[in-house]
Amino acid sequence: MKSNLLNGGEFLLADAAGMEIFAPEEFTVEQKQIAETTEEFMKKEIFPNIDRIEDKDFAFIVEKMRQCAELGLFLAEVPEEYGGLELEKTTNMLMIEKVAPAASFCMAFSGHTGIGILPMVYYGTPDQKERYLGKLSSGEWFGAYALTEPGCGSDPLSSKTTATLTQDGRHYMLNGVKQFITNSSFADLFTVFAKIDGKHFSAFLVEKDFVGFTVGDEEKKMGLKGSSTTQLFLDHVLVPVENLLGEPGKGHKIAFNVLNVGRLKVATQSLGMGKAALAEAASYATERKQFGQPIGEFGAIKEKLADMTAASFASESVIYRVAGLLDGRIAQLDKSGSDYYERYQKAIEEHAAECAIAKVFCTEQLDMVVDEAVQIHGGYGYISEYAVERYYRDSRIQRIFEGTNEINRILIPTMLFRKADNNGSVLWDLVKQAREGAVTETAYAGEFVREGATIARLKQLFLTVLGATASAREQQEVLLAIADMVITIFALESTLLRADKTLSASSEAKQNLLKAVVKVIVFDLTGKCGLAASRCCAYVLKGTELSDMRRKISELSDCQIEGLLEAKQLLAEASKDAGKYYF
Ligand SMILES: Cc1cc2nc3c(=O)[nH]c(=O)nc-3n(C[C@H](O)[C@H](O)[C@H](O)COP(=O)(O)OP(=O)(O)OC[C@H]3O[C@@H](n4cnc5c(N)ncnc54)[C@H](O)[C@@H]3O)c2cc1C
């Protein structure tokens, strides 16, 4: 296994020893300044006003969004020729992390700057950009993205919204209903998906004042209560032909390409919210006393704080590794030429599997983190006055939008298989070799040599299970189990590579914490990977074939971790001392 194959998904086939990743410890002064500006804005303008936001004071939200625009926070992904900054994805994620704890405001922010603006950036004609992009990036107007319908969510291509060219050829007439559209109550421009003649799925730029376009009532939601979510009704809406976005019949490209980075952003929102919940829990654990001592002194609470810290570290490692991969690809592109954004999309699409991995992993880590944050608060965690109550409610949607986690899980192996089938990837050769008993070699050395060997064995396990269950590749339950193996391997490897990269430049205290976090994550994710492998094999195999595989699984997912208790105690103390996420 060589490491020079790092196209999308090929981390599974390569030795971790040669891999380069971006680690959050490498942020430049400029990147940190942008993060600080965002954080200061949130601390001053948004966090003290959470109640107004949660009460759906949209006028207030719009006012604060305009302040964001004045600070240049909407410009991250806008092209330089339109006054934008074209920041790296790593910087962009860092900004989103800071906005994330105010999840309803974050929906307005990312709904506008992401799915609101980006379809136009990627697919807009110069005329469309001239007419709309300046208004959107300056905060004069706000954007929204309308794909979902009452009858179609995960399957957007089954859209029932229609677009019919009028006889004079000057307009498309749109009819249909859209569902769950973020920012509707104050958005001015909507990217609406509809089928031309009921057949050709396409995207249209619809202004809120177009006749026949109406915004429905606000949904009453479990969480994100301050975020605007409504239906949209399109009743014979005349949209000028100049407002067709992209090519007719190519709406799927717009719909799906925007989702790749969108998934990474949902992962990042989950990280930001999880870190905020951890901070609340760590502080509460030192303040609250029971049985004459702070609850944070109890092993049961320390274990939770340690697991929350390790989960956040792993999520952070995954997110910035993927963002770094995207930045690396984008940096290789020649910016001249009218097909720049087409090539840009292809570059991002190369890592679509990694974006989906980040989405699933980080949203599910968040589940654990907010759940334990509520638990640490006991009954108070159930009371709205405590921030963790909101984090708990706000977190739940993350597993549902930007493609449900089921859809993302299915996509991960499907994308890998498609690539292997189409591009003659070495995947199937390695699967064959693994089945014949070839042992995966690793050159991993240094402090984490044992953990490097664990990852190499898990990759071999992945290949072996893939070979043994190949006959059931079409079965969703099998695909989900394979996805779980892929996700855990990627997260484990990201954690290890980051810890290794930053170890030598860290203080002794931080080095000990890095070693502790690696221990906790290797123990947790190796176990999960082994379980996913067992589940996959138990679905497909029988008799001696199954028992042989069970032996192999136990051998390849074995990892001897010593000092796990001390490692968790160290992480818990660090989070209590810091009163927040330590790293
Ligand atoms: C607060 C909020 C904000 C939103 N914002 C927007 C927005 O701004 N714009 C927009 O267009 N949409 C938005 N959505 C919609 C969101 O993207 C959809 O809810 C999501 O895509 C899921 O679609 P659905 O709700 O129709 O669920 P369904 O697609 O009906 O899924 C129901 C269940 O079936 C599973 N399932 C479906 N298909 C398959 C399959 N092939 N294989 C296995 N399992 C499957 C799903 O994983 C899920 O568990 C928002 C939703 C909410 C709640």
Answer yes or no: is the C-beta of 62 below 6 A from any ligand 1 atom: no
Nearest CA to ligand 1 atom 7: 181
Report residue 6 as tokens: 């790092």
Atom of ligand 1 nearest to the CA of 193: 11
Answer yes or no: is the C-beta of 259 below 6 A from any ligand 1 atom: no
Q: How far apart are CA 364 and CA 356, in angstroms?
A: 12
Q: For helices 251-287 and 299-331, what crossing angle results, to 10°?
A: 150
Atom of ligand 1 nearest to the CA of 402: 17
Q: What does the pLDDT read at residue 436?
A: 84
292-335 pLDDT, tens digit per residue, is 999 999 999 999 999 999 999 999 999 999 999 999 999 999 99
**Long-range Cβ contacts of 375-381 (<8 Å, 24+ apart):** 375/304, 376/281, 376/284, 376/285, 376/295, 376/301, 376/304, 376/305, 377/280, 377/281, 377/284, 377/288, 378/288, 380/284
Question: If pLDDT is split at 50, 70 and 90, which confidence band does 413 have?
Answer: very high
Query: Cα(140) to centroid of ligand 1, in Å?
Result: 30
Atom of ligand 1 nearest to the CA of 182: 8
Query: Cα(403) to centroid of ligand 1, in Å?
Result: 6
Contact by Cβ (8 Å): 117, 65: no
Q: Say if residue 435's pLDDT is above 50.
A: yes
**Average pLDDT along the chain:** 95
Q: What does the pLDDT read at residue 568?
A: 98
Question: If pLDDT is split at 50, 70 and 90, which confidence band does 426 have?
Answer: confident
Element at 231 (helix H, strand E):
strand 229-240
Answer yes or no: is the C-beta of 58 below 6 A from any ligand 1 atom: no
Atom of ligand 1 nearest to the CA of 111: 8
Answer yes or no: is the C-beta of 305 below 6 A from any ligand 1 atom: no
Nearest CA to ligand 1 atom 4: 180
Q: Which residue has the tokens 């092209």?
A: 79
Question: If pLDDT is split at 50, 70 and 90, which confidence band does 211 have?
Answer: very high
Nearest CA to ligand 1 atom 11: 147
Q: What does the pLDDT read at residue 119?
A: 95
Q: All domains of the chain, ordered by start, with CATH? A: 1-9+261-583 (1.20.140.10), 24-137 (1.10.540.10), 143-245 (2.40.110.10)
Question: If pLDDT is split at 50, 70 and 90, which confidence band does 7 have?
Answer: confident
Atom of ligand 1 nearest to the CA of 152: 26
Q: What does the pLDDT read at residue 160?
A: 98
Which of 189, 401, 411, 412 is the best mutation target for the ligand 1 pocket, counting ligand atoms within 8 Å of the beta carbon and taking the most?
401
Please tell me which residue in 280, 372, 389, 402 is annotated as part of the active site: 402
Report residue 486 as tokens: 């892929």
User: Residue 362 burial by CB count (10 A; 0-12/13-18/19+): exposed, middle or buried?
Assistant: buried
Q: Say if residue 373's pLDDT is above 60.
A: yes
Q: What does the pLDDT read at residue 42?
A: 98
With H, G, I as helix, E, B as strand and everything else as coil, classify residue 206.
strand
Nearest CA to ligand 1 atom 14: 180
Report residue 429 as tokens: 């050769």
Atom of ligand 1 nearest to the CA of 221: 1
Report residue 473 as tokens: 């590749």
Phi, psi angle pair for 186, to nearest 5°: -130, 5
Element at 289 (helix H, strand E):
strand 289-290
334-372 pLDDT, tens digit per residue, is 999 889 999 999 999 999 999 999 999 999 999 999 999
Query: Cα(481) to centroid of ligand 1, in Å?
Result: 21
Contact by Cβ (8 Å): 333, 379: no
Closest by CA to 260, choosing from 192, 136, 358, is 358
Strand partners, 240: 171
Q: Say if residue 4's pLDDT is above 70.
A: no
Type of residue at 250: K
Q: How far apart are CA 118 and CA 131, in angstroms?
A: 15
Which of 106, 109, 148, 185 is the best mutation target for the ligand 1 pocket, counting ligand atoms within 8 Å of the beta carbon and taking the most?
148
Element at 346 (helix H, strand E):
helix 340-349
Query: Cα(156) to centroid of ligand 1, in Å?
Result: 9
Q: How far apart are CA 203 and CA 243, in angstroms?
A: 9
Query: Cα(404) to centroid of ligand 1, in Å?
Result: 6
Query: Cα(463) to centroid of ligand 1, in Å?
Result: 32
Question: If pLDDT is split at 50, 70 and 90, which confidence band does 50 have?
Answer: very high
Q: Say if residue 424's pLDDT is above 90.
A: no
Report residue 454 as tokens: 């664990």
Catalytic, 402? Answer yes
Q: Which residues contact 334 (CB under 8 A, 6 or more apart)?
A: 340
Which has more pLDDT, 437 or 27?
A: 27
Answer yes or no: is the C-beta of 400 below 6 A from any ligand 1 atom: yes
Q: Which residues contact 412 (CB under 8 A, 6 or more apart)?
A: 353, 356, 357, 360, 482, 483, 486, 487
- Give the burial string for 20-32 (b: 16+ CB within 10 Å, else e): ebbbbeebeeebe
169-209 pLDDT, tens digit per residue, is 999 999 999 999 999 999 999 999 999 999 999 999 999 99
Mean pLDDT of 259-269: 97
- Give the burial string for 448-487 (b: 16+ CB within 10 Å, else e): beebbbbbbbbbbbbbbbbbbbeebeeeeebbbbbbbbbb
Report residue 189 as tokens: 């421009």
Query: Cα(154) to centroid of ligand 1, in Å?
Result: 5
